[in-house]
């Protein structure tokens, strides 16, 4: 659930320069600060990348314990690189488990 509220660095998870990322379905949600000033939050499609214009000045407080938390990033370019890499990696196939049946040889 998204809840907008007043930004208080003591209560938030962000430091001097940081971006936090969450996934909710097909959406990517970022919360960030830049040069010690809150940038606010942004929501984009999971297949896109963030730009500074995407951020709204009213902060959105989310915690690392919230479901969908993907990580903290030092810069917007690092966050975007993570988004690009995460969608370019092929989906892992489930490994077939080896058979546990024992065959008796007479």
List pLDDT tens digits, range 55-73: 888 766 777 778 889 998 9
| 10-36 per-residue burial string, b: 16 or more CB within 10 A, e: under 16 | eebbbeebbbbbbeeeeebbbbbbeee
Question: Contact 79/19 with Cβ under 8 angstroms?
Answer: yes
Cα distances (angstroms) measured from residue 47 to each of 71, 80, 87, 92: 17, 10, 7, 18
CA distance 86 to 83: 5
For residue 11, is pLDDT > 50? no
Share of the chain above pLDDT 90, in %: 25
Global pTM reads 0.64
SS3 18: strand
């Amino acid at each position: 659930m998204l809840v907008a509220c007043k930004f208080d660095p003591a209560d938030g998870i962000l430091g001097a320069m940081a971006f936090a990322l969450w996934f909710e379905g097909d959406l990517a949600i970022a919360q960030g600060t830049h040069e010690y000033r809150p940038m606010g939050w942004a929501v984009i499609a999971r297949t896109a990348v963030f730009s500074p214009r995407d951020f709204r000045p009213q902060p959105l407080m989310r915690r690392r314990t919230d479901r969908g938390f993907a990580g903290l990033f030092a810069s917007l370019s690092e966050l975007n690189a993570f988004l690009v890499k995460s969608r370019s990696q092929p989906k892992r196939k489930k490994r077939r488990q080896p058979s546990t049946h024992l065959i008796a040889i007479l």
